[in-house]
Amino acid sequence: MSSSTSDRRLSELWSCVTLDEASSLIDSTSSPFSLQNFVGGQYIAPHDSLTNSSQHITSFEPKTGRPIYTLPCTQPHAVEAAIKAAKAAFPSWSKTARAERSAILWKVSELLQQNREVFAIWESIDQGKTLDRARVEVDRAISNFSYFSTFILHEQTAARMVDGVALTYEHRSPAGVFALISPWNMPLFLLTWKIAPCLAFGCTAVAKPSEVTSMTAFLLGDIFQKAGVPPGVINIIFGDGATTGAALVASPLINGVSFTGGTQTGIAIRRLTAHQIGKHLSLELGGKNPTLVFADSMVPSVRERTIRVAAMAAFENQGEICLCGSRIYVEKSVYNDFVRDFTAYVREKYVLKQTVGAVASLQHYDKIRRYLELAAEQKATFHLGGAPPTLNEDEAQGYWIEPTILTDVAKNSAIQIDEIFGPVVTITPFDNEQEAIQLANDSEYGLAAILLTTDGARMRRVGEQLEAGLVWVNCWLVRELGTPFGGMKNSGTGREGGEHSRDVFTVVRTLHLPAY
Ligand code: NAD
């Protein structure tokens, strides 16, 4: 594709200001859009990035099942070229004055803000989420840049005295070139959650979004160009995990990896980099999070809030958020009331008002469908939803799964153990506080937990025993970008956010200065 053709097609994407316009654009094009890597400050046509037509992946619109675009499955030699571009940009960018880096990243946040609706539209089309949900995530992407662009202006360092003999102080410098890899559930938000701090702390990067949802990352290249990010500082390449992702993380030129995705992929990345001891690894992985509902949270004055928070935690973004509470445990005395009220609320709010989208891909639809078939085989009770039908790739009706509420699921069933990552929740009774804690912690994962209670002492007593990196009490998904974000057990290692992101993207040396 000539550069003017690709420019024209890019400007067509930018010109869509409603979902209908974007949808018509997809319908009116004879062949799907082809995304291009963004390397060295410019889009590289597929033939320049040395991929041939057989090395392309087609991406489908979850709500309709129709093809929307193709992306290159970037091959190892082209991955290496992108890493070299980041490496070449590092010496200069890492020494750029903080105020200058800050101004450029602030500009990125402004440009995102100006194009908020276009990003939300393409995110909704590409991922399957509702437009409202997409808007929330674009706002969070904007905050990622505004937060870290100002964070670096107010940094402090620690100094200590050694018995009055010497002064020691911590000096930090950018850690180098990073691989930034993200999943498909919140594509723009999670990719920028990595890019913003990485660039703010003076590192350069090669970013790879999920092959399932690459559209907003493609648009992001244009934003970086317009904001004046120097060529090579951020490179965005497309492709799958086995070819592109693996080549990226394993390269000896990569100094660190910030990865968000599944636990099995996290293990693969650990293996790929095991011999590279100095490589920084930040792994944000899967979850199977518990929601604990105590009887005191079902009294009339707070019942509505309890039901609303538990439902939001279960079904927001079709349950495709790593922090979703997919295992609900309810104190026995209010169990029947909760199941009844929760089911009625979810039917009204999510099913009748259609506030859930389609799940992200046919592959993911099939995975969820298999769990729901298993639930039927195991004689679970379906209070809402059911096993959806099998779909063929050429059927263009989309990947829709109704919010599903299950009870009577055995503790050792795969439905209770595995991360389904879809609109499926189980509800199980418990007798007392100790049992609630034990059930909540009975998982290989430890990402998040939701605690619904009005007992102030219990908030701390139970909250501090939960094996989860994030515990929300009577709320869910409240975030402040400085708080440490990350999981325990198989949900990951390392923390990101504020100064924790600084730890990921910088190296620290301590200088000792005697008094003489
Ligand atoms: P995934 O692990 O399959 O893929 C994530 C990314 O890794 C993709 O870009 C993929 O191409 C890439 N990848 C795959 N194999 C690779 C390899 N060998 N080397 C390098 N990169 C590779 O995950 P997914 O299915 O895209 O996303 C769903 C998972 O992400 C769920 O488990 C969910 O809980 C998790 N997640 C975690 C968080 C968190 O903050 N902890 C946030 C969102 C999603």
Atom of ligand 1 nearest to the CA of 263: 32
Other CB atoms within 10 Å distance of the CB of residue 226: 13
pLDDT at residue 150 above 90?
A: yes
Any atom of ligand 1 within 6 Å of the Cβ of 185: yes
pTM to 2 decimals? 0.97
50 has pLDDT over 80: no
The DSSP 8-state label assigned to residue 184 in this structure reads S
Q: Is the CB of 184 under 6 A from ligand 1?
A: yes
Residue 91 pLDDT greater than 80, yes or no: yes
- pLDDT value at 516 more than 90: no
CA of 440 to the centre of ligand 1 (A): 24
Are 188 and 137 spatial neighbours (Cβ–Cβ below 8 Å)?
yes
- 249 CB under 6 A from ligand 1? yes
Closest CA to 321 of 286, 349, 293, 348: 286
Average pLDDT over residues 144-154: 98
In this predicted structure, what is the pLDDT of residue 32?
83
- The protein residue whose alpha carbon is closest to atom 30 in ligand 1 is 261
| pLDDT tens per residue, range 355-377 | 999 999 999 999 999 999 999 99
Token pair of 348, please? 């009204």
| Closest atom of ligand 1 relative to the 491 alpha carbon | 41
Ligand 1 atom closest to residue 487's alpha carbon, by position in its atom list: 41
| Per-residue model confidence as pLDDT tens digits over 220-273 | 999 999 999 999 999 999 999 999 999 999 999 999 999 999 999 999 999 999
Q: Is the beta carbon of 241 within 6 A of some atom in ligand 1? A: yes
Of 416 and 49, more confident: 416
> What are the distances in angstroms from CA 95 to CA 90, 173, 369?
8, 9, 51
* Positions marked active-site: 284
Q: Is the minimum distance from the CB of 210 to ligand 1 under 6 angstroms?
A: yes
Judge contact between 308 and 452, C-beta under 8 A: no
CA 223 to chain CA centroid, nearest Å = 20
Residue 57 and residue 237: Cα distance in Å, rounded? 13
Please give the structure tokens belonging to residue 398.
């989309």
C-alpha of residue 97 to centroid of ligand 1, in Å: 34
Query: What is residue 395's predicted lDDT score, i.e. its pLDDT?
Result: 64
Please give the distance, rounded to the nearest whole angstrom, from the Cα atom of residue 60 to the centre of ligand 1: 18
How many angstroms separate the CA atoms of 341 and 347, rounded? 10
188, 216 contact by CB (below 8 A): yes
Ligand 1 pocket test: which of 181, 251, 265, 272 has the largest number of ligand atoms within 8 Å of its C-beta?
A: 265
Query: Worst-scoring range by mean pLDDT, 14-18, 28-32, 67-71, 510-514?
Result: 28-32
Between CA 239 and CA 252 the distance in angstroms is 20
The confidence score (pLDDT) of residue 397 equals 84
Q: Is the CB of 269 under 6 A from ligand 1?
A: yes
pLDDT, position 209: 98
268 in ligand 1 pocket by Cβ < 6 Å?
Answer: yes
State whether the beta carbon of 211 lies less than 6 angstroms from ligand 1: yes
Average pLDDT score over residue span 157-176: 95
- Rounded to the nearest whole angstrom, what is the distance from the C-alpha of residue 486 to the centroid of ligand 1? 14
Q: Per-residue confidence at 53, pLDDT binned at 50, 70, 90?
A: low
| Cβ of residue 402 lying under 6 Å from some atom of ligand 1 | no
CA–centroid distance, residue 483 to ligand 1 (Å): 22
Pairing of strands 204-208, 177-181: parallel
Band of pLDDT at residue 451, cut at 50, 70 and 90: very high
CA nearest ligand 1 atom 26, residue = 183
Among 13, 476, 480, which Cα is nearest to 214's?
A: 13
Q: Is the pLDDT of residue 124 over 50?
A: yes
Q: Tell me what the mean pLDDT of segment 6-16 comes to.
A: 86
**The residue to which tokens 């190892």 are assigned:** 76
Segment 473-485, tens digit of pLDDT: 999 999 999 999 9
Q: What atom in ligand 1 is closest to the CA of residue 287?
A: 34
Other Cβ atoms within 10 Å of 304 Cβ, number:
11
% of the chain at pLDDT higher than 70: 97
Mean pLDDT computed over every residue of the chain = 95
